[in-house]
Amino acid sequence: MVSAARSGGLAHILGSLRSALSAEVAFFDLTGNVLSSAPARTLWDFERVLAVHRSADASAPLTVLPVDIDGDTVGLLAARATDDPQQLLPVAIDLLALEISKLRAKQSGQAQLLATLLEDIFTKRVSDADAAARLAPFGIDGAARHRVLVGWDPTAGPGRRQLSWGSIDALVQDRPDPLMRARIGDQIVMVVPDDAMVQRIAETLHAHLLGAGRGGDPSSVRVGVGLAHAGTAGLRASYHEALTAVHEGGGVRSPKRVDLAGLFVMTNTADSLRDLAKSILGPLIDYDRVHNSDLLRTLQVFLRNNRSIQATTEALYVHRNTLRYRRGQIEQLLDMDLDDSAHIANLWLAFAILDDANIRDGE
């Protein structure tokens, strides 16, 4: 069997085991897919296989053993035999686990590539056309509607277990994994089609994050579910919405309230937006540069504190009269009224654009 594993993977392992046991054998994933069997066209009742596995029924004409990797059961090995005098089944289990581990290592490399691509998409470092072409090998149709899931455990330490949940069937068949997860920083990100399974997938991701945390606080684990959008700009929007949901609290959540300014920034072309922001705030930027003043920051702090005089003066450590004088300068330079809702909306959006640009530029 060892020689079979070296030469041909799962099919050769099961073929060798079948010859040694003189019995039909099959390897299943936990959803009932036959990953490999010998003979290849043998019919199996997975419900029966699962029942024998759960009950350990010694009278059943089957032997069913779990295949585990790092403490997780990834599949079931079934043999239509009750005797294993040469103890070949444990050897077969080890070889199957080794084969799946090799496939998972390949999948891990693909997940890292996907993570890099998604990060480029979310931060607009790649054009939409190029992004759509690069998503195709991962089985993601750039024109279809997708949702982005973001999983996060703020209490997780460096000793947490690596998440390995995914489609074993896709691994074995060498197909793109429809449930591939990418790690971006301390987030687990998934791109899934917009269908009825989204909530169940999100709950499964939440459960696996809880398991990876090794008994951490269940309320700290968060999974945000973005809304459904088409195109790569839609992926950015859904990611932004999922992040919004993550910051609203623990458990599995969809966003209750979306920051339209942030969403607009994430889904539009960076260069044109930056030009727009600089055209609005440019007079303050130029004035501060020439006079070594702090009007731009004063305006930003003023807006962040909901235009509260007291909160702004405390944040800037300035007198109320100083803030009043700076406000007059700002209104004069920008030709705007800071009591006008439309002007305030434009200023909020301009700062959101510049903050986004600075983050992407590493400033």
Phi, psi dihedral angles at 159 (to 5 degrees): -90, 10
**For residue 208, what pLDDT is reported?**
82
> Can you give the pTM of this predicted structure?
0.62
The residue with greater pLDDT, 79 or 266, is 79
- Angstrom distance (rounded) from CA 225 to CA 244: 9
Tell me the pLDDT tens digit for each residue of 166-185. Answer: 566 666 776 777 778 899 98
- Angstrom distance (rounded) from CA 30 to CA 72: 11
Phi, psi dihedral angles at 137 (to 5 degrees): -60, -20
**For residue 273, what pLDDT is reported?**
66
State both tokens at 186.
Answer: 């301390």
Answer positive or negative: Cα dihedral of 28, 31, 32, 33: negative
Q: CA 21, 24, 30: angle at the middle one, nearest 5?
A: 115
Q: Identify any residues that bridge with 187 across adjacent strands, giving them in sequence order.
A: 184
Range with the poorest average pLDDT among 36-40, 216-220, 239-243, 319-323 = 216-220
- Angstrom distance (rounded) from CA 316 to CA 301: 8
pLDDT average, residue stretch 355-363: 51
Residue 71: CB atoms within 10 A of its CB come to: 7
pLDDT average, residue stretch 179-204: 89
Alpha carbon 253 to its chain centroid, in Å, reads: 14
User: 2-103: which CATH number, 1.10.357.10, 3.50.70.10, 3.40.50.1100, 3.30.450.40?
Assistant: 3.30.450.40
User: Is the pLDDT score of 161 beyond 50?
Assistant: no
- Angstrom distance (rounded) from CA 147 to CA 158: 28
Highest mean pLDDT among 87-101, 147-161, 303-317: 303-317
Q: Are 97 and 67 in contact (CB under 8 A)?
A: yes
To the question of domain 270-361 being in CATH 1.10.10.2840, the answer is yes
**For residue 359, what pLDDT is reported?**
40
List the strands of the sheet with 25-28, edge to edge. 34-38, 25-28, 72-79, 63-69
User: Is the pLDDT score of 35 beyond 90?
Assistant: no
Q: What is the mean pLDDT of the chain?
A: 83
pLDDT average, residue stretch 279-293: 91
Strands (DSSP E) contained in the chain are 25-28, 34-38, 63-69, 72-79, 145-152, 181-184, 187-193, 222-225, 229-230, 251-253
Say how many residues make up the chain: 363
**Position 29 confidence tier, pLDDT thresholds 50, 70, 90:** confident
Q: Indicate left, alpha or beta for 292 from its phi (over 0: left) and psi (-120 to 50: alpha).
A: left
- Angstrom distance (rounded) from CA 217 to CA 259: 28
Percent of the chain with pLDDT over 90: 34
**Position 159 confidence tier, pLDDT thresholds 50, 70, 90:** very low
**Position 11 confidence tier, pLDDT thresholds 50, 70, 90:** confident
Block residue for tokens 């693909």? 110
Q: Are 40 and 63 in contact (CB under 8 A)?
A: no
